[in-house]
Structure 1
Amino acid sequence: MANSSSLHAVPQMTSAQAHQAEILQNPFRTYLLGIIIAICGNVLISISLNIQKYAHVRQSQRGSKPYYTSVLWWCGVVLMGIGELGNFAAYGFAPASLIAPLGCVSVIASAVISVVFLKETVWASDIVGGSLAITGTYLLVTFAPHNTTHITAQLVQYYAISWHFLLYLLIETVVFCILLYLYKRRNVKHIVVVMLLVALLASLTVISVKAVSGMITETIKGQLQLIYPIFYIMLVIMVVSCAFQIKFLNQAMKMFDATEVVPINFVFFTASAIVAGIVFYQEFEGLALLNIFMFSFGCLLSFLGVFLIARRRPKIKQPDRNFIAMDRIPGRRHTDKVQPEAESTTYGSLAAKFMCNRAGPTDDS
């Protein structure tokens, strides 16, 4: 019996010591590098989104060529790719529970760029929200776990078979199946249901992204990690979870307005990323109670700031109140729309065509 278990004894012994040996206490330069990369990546993402938005507006005004023929639009796409690559690399240097909340930097930068360059209106809620988000970001950086772990293939394998992660994975799978059943079979199209599906997938994405990024970082440093099967398992999980996450997120953007999707997605994604970092990578192990409280308070301030900033953003999806959908009339199954009354003063006139393209809220008087 002892001989048969000797093969398992060595990995267990080295894995138990791995968490103690692989952690560097207060590696300031590595920790700071991850923060800087994440902030720069999020700023680039916000710049790219506003560049693409400006390209859309300019092309729609010209009305000559599709937006994807614009050089400016492609510049925005390239910047977004660089920003996402920076976020990916940041997971290899800093804890996942810190990198995910720093996504609020993108919201703050996007609001500033929209006001300065796109001449959008500044509201009091924008100023208050930005102040709260910046304060929350400062608390996150100050009180987040400062321990940086060398993510090796052996360490990822050890974390993947730990009982707390297996229990977490079981609970997450059950909840995901229930939500998917409600969404697909029961046709429950509530925004919370869709965003929870995205968040549950995001937790797997964060775990796999940090694992892949960390192993690539160690490989670049000279410790080859790409020969282990766990690297490719995590790579597949990363790609699949990202694909389905984008799928559900796009469905949410079609059903709901961006001012609702963006803040809820940020809150749910951040919470799932923090929980994933705590459960899988044990990032809060040994952290003082004061640090945990202030870190949680920083997250709360960031959440409130993002909500205040996003609530005043221009709505993308506007209901057309000049037409009545046929499927809303009892006994009708058509999807056509009823034209305005012929007795209307604007019926058939050029003014009616402009009114059909005008935003809904301005039609109420």
Structure 2
Amino acid sequence: MGDWIIGALINIVGSVGINFGTNLLKLGHDQREKLSLINNSEGNEKFVPKSVMHFQTWRIGILFFAAGNCLNFMSFAYAAQSLLAALGSIQFVSNIAFAYFVLNKTISVKVMVATTFIVFGNIFLVSFGNHQSPVYTPEQLIAKYSNLVFVLYCMSLVFVVAFNHYLYRSGETIISNSSKNAGTYWRTMLPFSYAVVSGAIGSCSVLFAKSLSNMMRLTMNSRYEFHSWFTYSIVLLFLCTAGFWMGRLNEGLSLFDAILIVPMFQIAWTFFSICTGFVYFQEYQVFDTLRIIMVVLGMTFVFVGISLLAPDDTKGL
């Protein structure tokens, strides 16, 4: 079995674990809220709500969530970043299965179509994606930062971030000062520009996680000392970009309608994660015209599926 298959399988299990854990966390909060409502309806004024940590569902959810993230981190040591970033969309499929079997929700035709798009998109990406998983030395990783193509990509990324941040700030001003029509137009553009900035910067954490897992794998297979200025720099960059992503994610959910912002977040995150790994690790060198076309087609299928999963205001799943 190839290393990339091991990495893909670990990543799929990790993504399902993260999604399962997230749903259990939500169930724990729902149980706490339900208990509070019951006691309030009975007129029990002395009732003090327990911390959500007292609910077993929530505690189990934390374990699944943590285990899933650990597995995803491990998977980057065995497979290409572009392949694993796309496979993260499998969590949407597991989320639908959880909603159907655990929450007993009805699955609409629209959701089934969206799931089909995601599944076929992942089949294309796995079949035609990068199957190489070399182990790089720290010197090789450092050298890749000075690669001309990666430098040009970083410059374009800075431009994309700056432009969309300017777009977001301009949109805020227009909405507060302009007519209702302008507000309707910016209702879509504002979260879009916000998600692009978040995904462009936050997805860099995937690159740093890939580098760290690569060095950990190198440490286990040789006498390489994990302690170095480069290692600590990557750890710091990973914490900064991952923290930025989590902060923007939480802020975005409070600023915008989840129906609108969640698919945008996921698409931006996946797109920039794939592009960054594709350029930094020079994955384009192993692609011919057919593979490029099929990978682009697979990405398109995944993005269409994610977009279709945005629920209607008046409907559930």
2:176 matches 1:169: no
Contact 1:144 1:295 in 2 (8 A): yes
Q: CA–CA distance in 1 between the matches of 2:241 and 2:313?
A: 29
Contact 2:207 2:277 in 1 (8 A): yes
Alpha-carbon distance, 1:290 to partner: 0.8
Contact 2:202 2:244 in 1 (8 A): no
Counterpart of 1:49 (choices 22, 28, 42) is: 22
- When residues 113 and 313 of structure 1 are mapped into structure 2, their CA distance, relative to the original with a 3 A threshold, is farther
Q: CA–CA distance in 1 between the matches of 2:131 and 2:98?
A: 31
Return the letter of the residue paired with 1:58: Q
- When residues 266 and 314 of structure 1 are mapped into structure 2, their CA distance, relative to the original with a 3 A threshold, is farther
* Matching residue of 1:89: 74
* Matching residue of 2:4: 31
- When residues 254 and 232 of structure 1 are mapped into structure 2, their CA distance, relative to the original with a 3 A threshold, is same
2:244 matches 1:259: no
Q: CA–CA distance in 1 between the matches of 2:58 and 2:111?
A: 27
Alpha-carbon distance, 1:38 to partner: 0.4
* Matching residue of 2:221: 221
Computing the radius of gyration from Cα coordinates, the structure with the larger value is 1
Contact 2:28 2:52 in 1 (8 A): yes
Note the 1:8-19 alignment, pairs <5 A.
none
Contact 1:258 1:315 in 2 (8 A): no
Contact 2:4 2:79 in 1 (8 A): yes
- When residues 211 and 314 of structure 1 are mapped into structure 2, their CA distance, relative to the original with a 3 A threshold, is farther
Q: CA–CA distance in 2 between the matches of 1:260 and 1:180?
A: 18
Contact 2:202 2:242 in 1 (8 A): yes
2:113 matches 1:128: yes
Structure 1 runs, 4 residues or longer, greater than 6 Å off: 313-316
Contact 1:111 1:309 in 2 (8 A): no
C-alpha distance after superposition, 1:66-110 (max 9, x if no partner): 323322212212211111111111111100100011111111101
C-alpha distance after superposition, 1:236-268 (max 9, x if no partner): 111101111111111110012222222211211
* Matching residue of 1:156: 141
Q: CA–CA distance in 1 between the matches of 2:169 and 2:118?
A: 36
Alpha-carbon distance, 1:124 to partner: 0.5
Note the 1:142-291 alignment, pairs <5 A.
142-183=127-168, 187=172, 190-291=190-291
2:299 matches 1:302: no
Alpha-carbon distance, 1:42 to partner: 0.5
Q: CA–CA distance in 2 between the matches of 1:313 and 1:43?
A: 26
- When residues 90 and 309 of structure 1 are mapped into structure 2, their CA distance, relative to the original with a 3 A threshold, is same
C-alpha distance after superposition, 1:187-240 (max 9, x if no partner): 368101110111111342122111111111111222415233222211111110
* Matching residue of 1:105: 90
- For the residue of structure 1 that corresponds to 2:130, the secondary structure is coil
Return the letter of the residue paired with 2:35: R
- When residues 306 and 223 of structure 1 are mapped into structure 2, their CA distance, relative to the original with a 3 A threshold, is farther
Q: What is the total number of aligned residue pairs between the two structures?
A: 289
- Percent of aligned positions with the same letter in both sequences? 23
- When residues 310 and 103 of structure 1 are mapped into structure 2, their CA distance, relative to the original with a 3 A threshold, is farther
Q: When you count helix as a share of all residues, which structure comes out higher?
A: 2
- When residues 53 and 91 of structure 1 are mapped into structure 2, their CA distance, relative to the original with a 3 A threshold, is same
Q: CA–CA distance in 2 between the matches of 1:186 and 1:262?
A: 19
Contact 1:95 1:148 in 2 (8 A): yes
For normalisation by structure 1, the TM-score amounts to 0.74
Contact 1:91 1:213 in 2 (8 A): yes
Unaligned runs of 5+ in 2: 37-48, 174-185
- When residues 113 and 186 of structure 1 are mapped into structure 2, their CA distance, relative to the original with a 3 A threshold, is closer
Q: CA–CA distance in 1 between the matches of 2:79 and 2:67?
A: 18
Q: CA–CA distance in 2 between the matches of 1:94 and 1:57?
A: 37
* Matching residue of 1:18: none
Q: CA–CA distance in 2 between the matches of 1:204 and 1:273?
A: 7
Unaligned runs of 5+ in 1: 1-27, 317-365
Alpha-carbon distance, 1:175 to partner: 3.1
C-alpha distance after superposition, 1:261-314 (max 9, x if no partner): 222112111110111012111012131211111111111111122222232598
C-alpha distance after superposition, 1:300-344 (max 9, x if no partner): 11112222223259889xxxxxxxxxxxxxxxxxxxxxxxxxxxx
- When residues 217 and 113 of structure 1 are mapped into structure 2, their CA distance, relative to the original with a 3 A threshold, is same
